[in-house]
Amino acid sequence: MEKLYICLPSYNEAENLPELIGDIGKTTPNAKLVVVDDGSTDLTGDIAEKAGAKMNLVVVRHPRNMGLAQAMKTAFDHVLHEADDEALIVVMDADGSHRPEQIPKLVEKANEGADLVVAGRYIDGAEVRGVSPLRRVLSYGTRQLTQLIFGRLGARDVSCGYRLYRSSLLREAKEAYGDNLIVSEGFSVNVELLIKLSKIGAVIEQTPLDLRYDLKKGRSKIRILPTIFQYLKLFAQMILHPPGPRKIAQNKKGSEKNT
């Protein structure tokens, strides 16, 4: 089986990480965990190391809070430095709302040929629990606006961060976009990556998401108005300066299921 990496961008998640890391260990005991401590002011990094003391886990620390986009960039850079092209990279929220029991479903889709697998809220079988109406409106509005501007991108849920990436796809994307692969400043990074990866011919599949926001401990890190501004800024940048990869992948065709 391909080497599996699980990346947890984390900011002040000391309350949630012990249980989550334990559950990941039970579900995917052979995976390597990469926890990016994004300048937390609690003991996130130390708690993660303690919880994963008997696991294959590494903590990469930012000296200050830099946001989700930079945390994901750090995670990708760390994994790609050591992984081969057959590795699979799962990114999931560190607050416990993304359940490790869904990881095998993501891997199954990858083994069937997908380069990118998105756990989505807008397909049959998905469940969402504990999410506020305002958050639901933000997610739905982002989806509608993204599809209006950029068309269908292979996944109906454009903003969910619970995804699996094939390492060869990320290497291809870095070659295509260089330092401009990730230019977002926060939660809009997931939309940015979906748009850019679809443009280089990524084979994209979906699986239903079971979002358990009711299990999360502590306050939400997302701030509605700043996040809306991030999305609008990203869309404006992409409209004014369309993301043109230096090299388009050949012999690949994106796919869309349940759209």
Is 252 within the bounds of a domain?
no
Is 259 within the bounds of a domain?
no
| Domain count along the chain | 1
Predicted confidence at residue 250, as pLDDT, reads 43
Alpha helices in the chain (DSSP H): 17-27, 44-51, 68-82, 103-111, 133-150, 167-177, 189-199, 224-240
Is 75 within the bounds of a domain?
yes
Predicted confidence at residue 24, as pLDDT, reads 97
Is 169 within the bounds of a domain?
yes
Q: Which domain holds residue 167?
A: 4-240
Is 124 within the bounds of a domain?
yes
Distances (CA, A) of 240 to 53, 107, 188, 189: 48, 36, 17, 18
Is 180 within the bounds of a domain?
yes
Is 43 within the bounds of a domain?
yes
- In the block, tokens 């939660």 appear at 187
Q: What is the CATH number of the domain that holds 16?
A: 3.90.550.10
Predicted confidence at residue 247, as pLDDT, reads 52
Predicted confidence at residue 258, as pLDDT, reads 45
Task: Pick out the chain residues at pLDDT < 70.
Answer: 1-2, 244, 246-259
Distances (CA, A) of 200 to 1, 76, 121, 195: 26, 18, 24, 9
Predicted confidence at residue 211, as pLDDT, reads 94
Predicted confidence at residue 253, as pLDDT, reads 42
Is 251 within the bounds of a domain?
no
